[in-house]
Amino acid sequence: MTYLKQPADRGRDAADKADLRLFGKNADGAPYRTFSSIAEAVRAEGKTPTLAVNAGMYRSDFSPMGLYVENGRELKPANSATPRPPPVARNFRFLAILRTIISSF
């Protein structure tokens, strides 16, 4: 798997006026668990939240599963481990190999 790190050029269009950012943890160090808690944090800064979307995959403790960059700082490196297929896919692969071995006799 290949990753490319490219800083965003915010000076090209109207997007440079937007406040686009990721929210991982609040001021107390606890993870944001809901969009409403992020909206409250933005309102506390005197700003109006416009849009919030999930920008990644997270574990059950709300920690990011892969690369996470916030405010220009890499807080979690990219996960370059080979993904393990789900049990069903592993079983199908075993059956395909077994079928190949049996058919070669």
Where would I find the H helices in 20-103? 35-44, 87-103
Q: What confidence tens digit (pLDDT) does each residue in 33-89 have?
A: 898 999 999 999 999 888 888 888 888 888 888 888 888 889 899 888 776 666 655
| 87 within domain boundaries | no
Beta bridge partners of 25: 31
- Total domains, the chain: 1
Predicted TM-score (pTM) of this structure: 0.55
Kindly state whether residue 64 falls inside one of the protein's structural domains: yes
**Domain-located, residue 97:** no
Residue 15 falls inside a structural domain: yes
Angstrom distance (rounded) from CA 5 to CA 73:
12
* Cα dihedral 90→3→67→49 (10° resolution): -120
Say if 65 falls within a structural domain: yes
Looking at the chain, the number of H-run helices and the number of E-run strands are 2, 2
Q: What is the pLDDT of residues 12-21, one digit of tens each?
A: 555 556 678 8
In a domain, 91, yes or no: no
63 occurs within a structural domain = yes
User: Would 67 be classed as within a structural domain?
Assistant: yes
Give the residue numbers spanning the domain of 47.
2-78
